[in-house]
Chains A and B, each alone.
Chain A
Amino acid sequence: MELRFWGGDWGLPSVHPESLVVLTYARFVGAPLKLNPVDYTWSSIQGFGPILISKDEVTTQPTNILNFLRKQKYNADYVLSAREGSDTLAYIALLEEKLLPAMLHTFWVDAENYSSVTRPWYSSHTPFPLRFYLPGKMSREALNRILVTKGKPPLYSLNEVEAQVYKDAKECLNLLSNRLGASRYFFAEMPTSLDAFVFGYLAPLYKAHLPKVQLKEHLKQLPNLCEFCDHILSAYFTQNAEGSSPAGQEAIDANLQKLTQLVNKESNLIEKMDDNLRSSPQNRPQKLTALHPPASTANKDSSQFLTP
């Protein structure tokens, strides 16, 4: 599987929220992805968001990619109850409706941020003639999305909606902060897809050096959300950001599983042989109690030897 996405900067593996969502999720589940950041060449440009290519199948959009990974048995949500799964869906809707418009405005519409940070970054990662067109197109799309979803027809005017959009986003940040409380992840101790989404949306805001920082200032006043970002960054994205470690881990895990299976088989064999040897009826109960504990300890021992 190959993932194409906007590359990293500002201490993040990707500066593009949707790409970051997918990357984070892949890191949570340890999916062996071949990471292929968009660079200066034409071949890398296929769309604006993250793209997952697996054999001949091409998947776009974070939700679709996450669903695809889940089907490949890379599921971070299997620990969740049905109700928590519903909550995940609801909070993702909340992010999309309330936080996304303000994020788009901060990065793509606000003139100062766009011309001093966003446009230079994206145009420097795009091949020559396209670099004069692509960032402008993304900016227009962002503006269009804000106006069409939040503005009032027939005269869509940005001034009317700006204040409302930021007010909604700040409220959304407060709600997320309340929901997270003092825990490490949104659902107990394991990271799930909701954590990937929240991190993907918040981290670029938290790490980017923008001239206009209205939303970032608000985020900084919510220490638990900042800690949440820092924690995921340090736990999942330190040093080996090229994807070697999870794959390696995966291989070790697979080997370990195979070996334990072998050991199990062997102990079963021993058990059978013992059965054959002691066919007398009065010995059977004794044998059962005597044989099982050694089998399980043998198992444990072997796995202990295997762990590096």
Chain B
Amino acid sequence: MSLVTDAFVSQIAAVEPWPENATLYQPLKSEQVLLSDNASCLAVQAFLQMCNLPVQVVCRANAEYMSPSGKVPFIHVGNQVISELGPIVQFVKAKGHSLSDGLDEVQRAEMKAYMELVNNMLLTAELYIQWCDEATLEEITQPRYSSPYSWPLNSILVLQKKWEIKRKMKAIGWSGKTLEQVYDDVDQCCQALSQRLGSQSYFFNKQPTELDALVFGHLFTILTTQLTNDELREKVKNYSNLIAFCRRIEQSYFEDHDRDSTGSSMRLSKGPALP
């Protein structure tokens, strides 16, 4: 988004209130979505729940291609379409809903820094595991990612995506890493998050922020997803305060809303429960 359209969008956004029929699009939950995409979708859902903004979750097989940035999830509000957590947070802020208004400047810097830590380490590690680890790629990623399409499109799309991710890993210097090193990175990241959280209920005391939504999205997905082995999950399970944190957000933002929310978020909370 260029600066002009950015300004324009926020101008328009400020005028219109949050509509009733806002929609969030994401890939099919049970047969298509991958670990990293599910984490991002869950993070946005958690963020909108925390802002108390109603949104209808719609699963589409081609959500990735519908999204303006090529990444899921995206929301359709009024006549605008916005994708990914960062821009969605900005957009929602322009509408007058913000979770981080109560923070001072140092805390805001800290929040952004930790959000980048999650993107830099957890998200990259998830992408690495699902696209660069051959066992996971063959057993999980390939069949799931290509599930909506028939031959030969399915193999072409998988190859295209695989090359895209490998190119990214090479550019950021991760292509030489082994799976063990990636697990170590995840552990280091979780340790940092765990120490930062300490015994607080949210990262910044009583009120949740977008950082909490992002961390919840990733950790909850890692904890509840069955991969080829349990190593990734075990890394997170070592930190009891992070598990308690996930359970707390699950209970307060996903279980209470079951009645007035739609099927998808219900399935989400009724999915594999936390251990």
On A, residues with C-beta under 8 Å from B are: 61, 82-83, 85-87, 89-91, 93-94, 96-98, 141, 144-145, 148-149, 152-154, 160, 163-164, 167, 171-172, 175-176, 178-179, 181
Query: Are B193 and A86 in touch, CB under 8 angstroms?
Result: yes
Query: Are B168 and A149 in touch, CB under 8 angstroms?
Result: yes
Is B120 engaged at the interface, CB distance under 8 Å to the other chain? Answer: yes
Partner of B167 from the list A91, A148, A181 (CB cut-off 8 Å) is: A148
Q: Which residues of A contact B195 (CB under 8 A)?
A: 82-83, 85-86
Is B110 engaged at the interface, CB distance under 8 Å to the other chain? Answer: yes
Distance (whole angstroms) from the CB of B127 to the closest CB of chain A = 12
Query: Are A90 and B2 in touch, CB under 8 angstroms?
Result: no
Query: Are B116 and A93 in touch, CB under 8 angstroms?
Result: yes
On B, residues with C-beta under 8 Å from A are: 1-3, 69-70, 105-106, 108-110, 112-114, 116-117, 119-121, 160, 164, 167-168, 171-173, 188-189, 191-193, 195-196, 198
With A83-B195, A93-B121, A178-B109 given, name 15 new contacts (CB 8 A). A86-B191, A86-B195, A89-B188, A90-B117, A96-B120, A97-B116, A144-B171, A148-B171, A149-B172, A154-B160, A167-B3, A171-B112, A175-B112, A179-B106, A179-B109
Most buried by B among A85, A89, A141, A164: A89
Report the bound CA distance from A87 to B191 in whole Å.
11
Query: Are A149 and B171 in touch, CB under 8 angstroms?
Result: yes
Dominant secondary structure at the A interface: helix
Distance (whole angstroms) from the CB of A134 to the closest CB of chain B = 18
The 10 tightest CB contacts between A and B, nearest first, are A86-B192, A175-B109, A90-B113, A178-B105, A93-B120, A93-B117, A94-B113, A90-B117, A145-B171, A179-B109
Q: Which residues of A contact B108 (CB under 8 A)?
A: 175, 178
Distance (whole angstroms) from the CB of A188 to the closest CB of chain B = 14
Partner of A145 from the list B105, B164, B172 (CB cut-off 8 Å) is: B172
Q: Which B residue sits closest to A84, measured CB to CB?
A: B195
Most buried by B among A61, A97, A144: A97
Given the interface contacts A82-B195, A85-B192, A179-B106, does A148 sit within 8 Å of B168 by beta carbon? Answer: yes
Partner of A89 from the list B3, B109, B112, B192 (CB cut-off 8 Å) is: B192
Q: Which A residue sits closest to B114, measured CB to CB?
A: A90
Report the bound CA distance from A86 to B3 in whole Å.
33
What would be 27 A-B contacts, judged by CB atoms less than 8 Å apart?
Answer: A61-B173, A86-B196, A87-B113, A89-B188, A89-B192, A90-B113, A90-B114, A90-B116, A93-B113, A93-B117, A93-B119, A94-B112, A94-B116, A97-B116, A97-B119, A97-B120, A98-B116, A144-B167, A145-B172, A149-B168, A153-B70, A154-B160, A163-B2, A175-B108, A175-B113, A176-B109, A179-B106
